[in-house]
Amino acid sequence: MADDRPVPLDEYPVHQVPLSMKYVATGDRNAYDRCIFHVLDHEGHALLILGLGVYPNLGVIDAYATLRLGDTLHAVRASDALRDDRTDLGVGPLRILVERPLRDFVVSCEAAPDDPDGLSYEINWTADFPALWEPHHLQRRGGRLTLEGRRFVQAGHCDGWIRVAGREIRVRGWTGTRDRSWGLRPVPGEEGGRFAEEQPTEGFHWIWCPVRFEDRFLMVIVQEDADGHRSLNDATLVRPGHRDRQLGWPQAEIAYRPGTRHPERALVHLGDLRKPMELEVEVLTSSPLALGAGYPPSDDWQHGTWQGRDWTDRRTYDLSREHPLAAFGVTDHAARFRLDGRVGHGIFEHGSFGRHDPSGFTGFDSVAP
């Protein structure tokens, strides 16, 4: 018989429905609640990505961390049975400590006892700007809701250390970005069914771009279908002490590496009627989320999948080799940005696969000339 006792979160006045906080208000297997953090230097030498997710109706909690140094991607992944205490944000060697909500966090990874040269870190992630809501995200296939997410994004600075392969890297004033989301999001394991057969995906084009400047924070997000129809759109500038400024309908010109859909630089047109602006994007280093981080179409582990209790996996990927699956997933690019005479740093997350008429891509095998 299931244990139906109250859980620690039930002590707090945070309930939204007449249920214990042990449960979510939907029986959908795809219910999720998770986060992602980025930690990057300003020269493109290192990009650390980490996250943690909870899947209440699958009984799973998992986490990951990837560090790109040169052409090597170091990855740690962990998964376990979901516990009743949702305030304990740790799985295996990976942990996120919320010291002050929306302000201060400590993210850490313990070294493996049998591999002291493996990836480990302890970093203080501190917000420099208030959190910003992203647009409500909805996707349907036929008559079925396949994704509904509520998200906010934030930027800050990071201090601490990273150890790997006998080397210690001091983190001092690096840029940090993070995203917090919950709702419904597809988890592997479902059959395609009628809607997948009758309405196959023709194309997907995505930009998610949080940028930290010294005195302001910019967020740009775009999602387009194969024909260029935009289902998600936002560009917002945050300045402490000022009202958030909406910067219209962002339009990106992306320069891809020939023979690929790997962006090397981009120009994003922003601005309201008073003052059009251009955001220049210079890609410094890149980390495909399908390698190590568990995002689709990863073939060695994906978020929410049951791996058994106390599962931990450590591995490296050689990014000088071609990884075909990575081209059909989203990649996070650490980048240097220029806007209105200011230089900033952040993430240019991009995915483009299948047909995309505005870019001239005709199908899944189409690449830049």
CATH architecture of 30-184+200-359: Beta Barrel (2.40)
pLDDT tens digits, one per residue of 250-295 = 999 999 999 999 999 999 999 877 789 999 999 999 999 999 999 9
| Beta-ladder partners of 52 | 35, 63
Q: Look up tokens 């305030």; give the residue.
A: 87
The pLDDT assigned to 116 comes to 81
Q: Look up tokens 């899944």; give the residue.
A: 364
Element holding 120 (H helix, E strand): strand 120-127
Enter the tokens of residue 58. Answer: 């699958």
Is 0.95 surpassed by the pTM of this model?
yes
98: which DSSP letter? E
* Nearest CA-CA partner of 182 in 247, 91, 86: 86
329: which DSSP letter? S
Question: 137 to each of 44, 122, 199, 219, 329, how far by Cα in Å?
Answer: 31, 32, 20, 15, 18
User: Considering all CA atoms of the chain, what is the largest pairwise distance in Å, rounded to the nearest integer?
Assistant: 64
Cα 200 from Cα 197, distance rounded (Å) = 6
Report mean pLDDT in 10-residue bins for the chain, 369 residues.
81 94 94 98 98 98 98 98 95 98 98 90 98 94 90 98 96 98 92 83 96 98 97 96 94 97 98 87 98 97 98 97 93 97 98 97 97
With contact defined as beta carbons under 8 Å apart, do 184 and 53 qualify? no
227: Cα within 13 Å, side-chain hemisphere: 1
The pLDDT assigned to 143 comes to 84
Cα 58 from Cα 60, distance rounded (Å) = 5
* Nearest CA-CA partner of 42 in 209, 171, 179: 171
